[in-house]
């Protein structure tokens, strides 16, 4: 009997970027396709990054290429090692068993080599692909870092100054913004090359305070594209860096570091989200202005993911964390990859979602129901079925012998015959869900009611004879009789009743904390019309209950997914204590079996 939670691999998708890559492969334009995934380590990755990971690593995987993991760490005041570690963990999790064979890393501490290419000095840092490199295990590998290229980037900047294509500007940051906005030329634009070189070198030595000077590209101050209006290449920032320490007090801007990092790593296809489309002329200008000897990378853009009932801004996600509106970056309600993983979503489900929504050039909001459908599809195939009661009410079978226990057969997964069956105990006293009984039932209520019958899954048909209440009028117990011939194989087993409910044996039930997570926001567009996104936080996004569970769940494993029958899919939380004699089971609800939000929407 196999209990492995396996599900089929999603088929490779097709889109306009993959079509371009396929043409390049067919035309043998490049020796090998080389992409990269370059997040800034200033927060945790979210589901929008998952789309980018699946695209960049997916292309490398499908076309036999490499995708580098690079930390785009050029801003020392916002980046942290915590974020580097979380990014690395998230990427490895999403790639595991899929595109991990295409992951490009580098030897720890290694920086670009100076090489001669076509008689010119050049910089290059080759990727190591751990699962394709025989001696990779003997090396300590790490992600690429843009900060490992600071020496080379400074060298490139000096080359632009020497060519008269960059100058040191003394305008303040506010003045620079104003001049660029109004297409106005800086009074320092005509500085001689020698003076620019001297000032830039003194900037590097730390002679000037923050904001005193900057290095700007000399392109076209009145360009229709504002990004070409003499953009900043370097700024002064006296701040320690998480990777380089206190070595530098000037830092390259993203647009300058991005294209040259791609070049240093030998990237062929630099795939960005659509807001960088207007940056592409600057990307090309920098590379072309340096007369670089090796083939240049090319940038391609696609629409970023916007998901309903979610915010994607790192700044807003950080606000939720800092204001303790969630428990942390990995709170299962967060759209972060670590939160989604903790909630119990599998990498296969996330990849299927990324494939299903496709890659386009048009921005739009993706219905969160598409993600939820992908999660349900995946978990339905892999989740082991178990019985658990979240809001228990006791049932006593008055005609069932006291002290008797039966072992009944229950199916582990009807979608997977290889998952086999298990034994579950049955006894005189049971727990059922409170919602499965109504003293005054509405029309078409086919579960338990006074004088009504219902089948207990895998067990008997029972009839409710008496409702027991406490002094306050609260129902505390249902006294029922069982048709003892209605179990599978019995004389009345074929007798039809309209309702089937789940249960657990009271004497054998184990307690578990169940965290019932729901959507974090009550509105599909939390920021619509400029409103404060926190004003539509869902007050019912988390309910914590103590559930009564079948005893086999004491052996629950974090890597296995479970369906609590008729309720939802669950995963064991990392806060669980599984040590002998100290067991504390905590299950996170990954998703309900049905879309309850759609049902609510139909009422309005």
For residues 236 and 247, give the distance between their C-alpha atoms in angstroms, rounded to a whole number: 13
Backbone angles phi, psi at 187, to 5 degrees: -65, -10
* Per-residue 3-state assignment (H helix, E strand, C coil) for 477-521: EEEEEEECCCCCCCCCCCCCCCCEECCEECCCCEEEEEEEECCCE
Q: Please say whether the beta carbons of 456 and 503 come within 8 A.
A: yes
Beta bridge mates, 501: 456
For residue 220, what is the DSSP state? -
Helix (H, G, I), strand (E, B) or coil at 428: coil
**Residue 556 to residues 1, 328, 412, 511, 550: CA-CA distances in angstroms?**
16, 25, 13, 13, 11
Q: Which residue(s) pair with 393 in the sheet?
A: 432
Q: What is the pairing mode between strands 568-572 and 384-386?
A: unpaired
Q: In what order do the strands lie in the sheet with 586-592?
A: 384-386, 561-564, 568-572, 586-592, 510-517, 542-549, 388-389
Residue 396 — left, alpha, or beta (φ > 0 → left; ψ -120 to 50 → alpha)? Answer: beta
What is residue 401's DSSP assignment? P
Are 431 and 395 in contact, with CB atoms under 8 Å apart?
yes
For every residue of 56-84, which 3-state class applies, written as one string? HHHHHHHCCCEEEEEECCCCCCCCCHHHH
- SS3 of residue 215 by DSSP: strand
Of 306, 317, 371, give the one whose Cα is nearest residue 345.
371
Helix or strand (DSSP H, E) at 341: helix 337-343
- Crossing angle of helices 280-289 and 254-265, rounded to 10°: 60
- What are the residues facing 115 on neighbouring strands? 122
With beta carbons less than 8 A apart as the criterion, state whether 335 and 310 touch.
Answer: yes
Check if the beta carbon of residue 542 is closer than 8 Å to that of residue 499.
no
Q: How far apart are CA 99 and CA 10, in angstroms?
A: 13
> Which residue among the candidates 18, 204, 304, 463 is catalytic per the annotation?
304
- Is 108 a known active-site residue? no
Q: Is 266 left (phi over 0), alpha (psi -120 to 50) or beta?
A: left
For the question of residue 422 being annotated catalytic, the response is no
Secondary structure class of 161 (helix, strand, coil) = helix
Point out the catalytic residue in the list 40, 158, 406, 523: 40
40 assigned to active site: yes
Task: Find the catalytic residue in 191, 280, 314, 422.
Answer: 314
For the annotated catalytic residues, the residue numbers are 40, 304, 314
């Amino acid at each position: 009997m196999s209990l492995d939670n396996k599900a089929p691999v999603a088929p490779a998708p097709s889109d306009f970027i993959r079509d371009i890559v396929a043409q390049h492969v067919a035309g043998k334009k490049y020796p090998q396709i080389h992409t990269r995934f370059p997040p800034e380590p200033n927060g945790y990755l979210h589901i929008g990054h998952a789309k980018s990971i699946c695209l960049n690593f997916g292309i490398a995987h499908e076309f036999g290429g490499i995708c580098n993991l690079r930390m785009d760490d050029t801003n020392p005041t916002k980046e942290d090692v915590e974020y580097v570690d979380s990014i690395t963990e998230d990427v490895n999790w999403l790639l595991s068993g899929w595109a991990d064979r295409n992951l490009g890393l580098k030897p720890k501490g290694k920086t670009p080599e100076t090489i001669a290419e076509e008689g010119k000095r050049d910089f290059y840092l080759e990727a190591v692909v751990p699962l394709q490199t025989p001696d990779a295990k003997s090396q300590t590998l790490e992600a690429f870092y843009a900060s490992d290229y600071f020496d080379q980037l400074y060298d490139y900047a000096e080359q632009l100054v020497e060519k008269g294509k960059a100058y040191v500007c003394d305008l303040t940051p506010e003045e620079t913004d104003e001049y660029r906005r109004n297409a106005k030329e800086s009074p320092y634009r005509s500085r001689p090359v020698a003076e620019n070189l001297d000032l830039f070198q003194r900037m590097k030595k730390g002679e000037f305070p923050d904001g005193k000077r900057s290095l700007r590209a000399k392109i076209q101050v009145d360009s229709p594209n504002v990004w070409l209006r003499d953009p900043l290449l370097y700024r002064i920032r006296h701040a320690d860096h998480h990777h380089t320490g206190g070595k530098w007090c000037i830092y390259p801007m993203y647009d300058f570091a991005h294209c040259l990092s791609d070049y240093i790593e030998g990237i062929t296809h630099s795939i960005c989200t659509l807001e960088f489309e207007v940056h592409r002329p600057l990307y090309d200008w920098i590379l072309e202005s340096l007369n670089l000897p090796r083939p240049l990378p090319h940038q391609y853009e696609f629409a970023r993911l916007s998901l309903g009932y979610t915010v994607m801004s790192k700044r807003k996600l950080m606000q939720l964390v800092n204001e303790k509106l969630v428990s942390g970056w990995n709170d299962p309600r967060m759209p972060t990859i670590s939160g989604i993983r903790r909630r119990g979503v599998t990498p296969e489900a996330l990849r299927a979602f990324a494939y299903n929504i496709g890659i386009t050039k048009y921005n739009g909001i993706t219905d969160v129901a598409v993600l939820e459908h992908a999660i349900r599809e995946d978990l339905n195939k892999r989740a082991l079925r178990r019985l658990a009661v979240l809001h228990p009410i006791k049932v006593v079978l008055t005609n069932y012998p006291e002290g008797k226990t039966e072992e009944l057969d229950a199916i582990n997964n009807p979608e997977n015959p290889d998952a086999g069956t298990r034994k579950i105990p049955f006894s005189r006293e049971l727990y059922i869900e409170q919602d499965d009984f109504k003293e005054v039932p509405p029309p078409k209520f086919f579960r338990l009611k006074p004088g009504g019958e219902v089948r207990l899954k895998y067990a008997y048909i029972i009839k409710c004879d008496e409702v027991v209440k406490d002094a306050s009028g609260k129902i505390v117990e249902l006294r029922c009789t069982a048709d003892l011939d209605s179990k599978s194989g019995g004389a009345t087993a074929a007798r039809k009743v309209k309702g089937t409910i789940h249960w657990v044996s009271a004497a054998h039930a184990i307690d578990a904390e169940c965290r019932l997570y729901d959507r974090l926001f009550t509105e599909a567009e939390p920021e619509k019309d400029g409103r404060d996104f926190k004003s539509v936080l869902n007050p019912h996004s988390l309910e914590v209950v103590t559930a009564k569970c079948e005893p086999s769940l004491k052996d629950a494993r974090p890597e296995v997914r479970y369906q609590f029958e008729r309720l939802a899919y669950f995963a064991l939380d990392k806060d669980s204590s599984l040590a002998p004699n100290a067991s504390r089971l905590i299950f996170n609800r990954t998703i309900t079996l049905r879309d309850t939000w759609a049902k609510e929407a139909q009422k309005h």
